[in-house]
């Protein structure tokens, strides 16, 4: 009976692990069902998932903005280099 309960009901530690795993790879059907059942009963894990989604979106935005800044700096350097070469 204990094995069946462990299969059906996740601990919060395992649920948060699956929440994070889901950002990077698709969960198996059984993992999806276990996580869904756990979140139906656990407010803390539902909140954790919402916060994790917000953090992931923020990190994606940060990475996109960082790439744009790097590209702009490289573009400025290239323009300055081209301008100095044409003056010579």
The structure tokens listed for 7 are: 């299969």
pLDDT at 70: 65
CA distance 72 to 82: 15
Number of other CB atoms surrounding residue 51 within 10 Å: 11
CA distance 73 to 71: 5
Q: Residues 45, 15: contact at Cβ < 8 Å? A: yes
> For the residues 67-82, what does the mean pLDDT come to?
77
pLDDT per position as a tens digit, 12-37: 999 999 999 999 999 999 999 999 99
Model confidence at 87, pLDDT cuts 50, 70, 90, reads low
């Amino acid at each position: 009976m204990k094995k069946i309960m462990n299969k059906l009901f996740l601990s919060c530690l395992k649920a948060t692990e699956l929440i994070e795993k889901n950002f990077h790879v698709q969960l198996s059907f059984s993992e999806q069902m276990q996580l869904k059942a756990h979140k139906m009963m656990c407010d803390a894990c539902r909140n954790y998932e919402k916060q994790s989604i917000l953090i992931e979106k923020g990190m994606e935005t940060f990475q996109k903005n960082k790439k744009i800044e790097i590209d702009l700096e490289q573009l400025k350097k290239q323009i300055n280099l081209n301008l100095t070469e044409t003056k010579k």
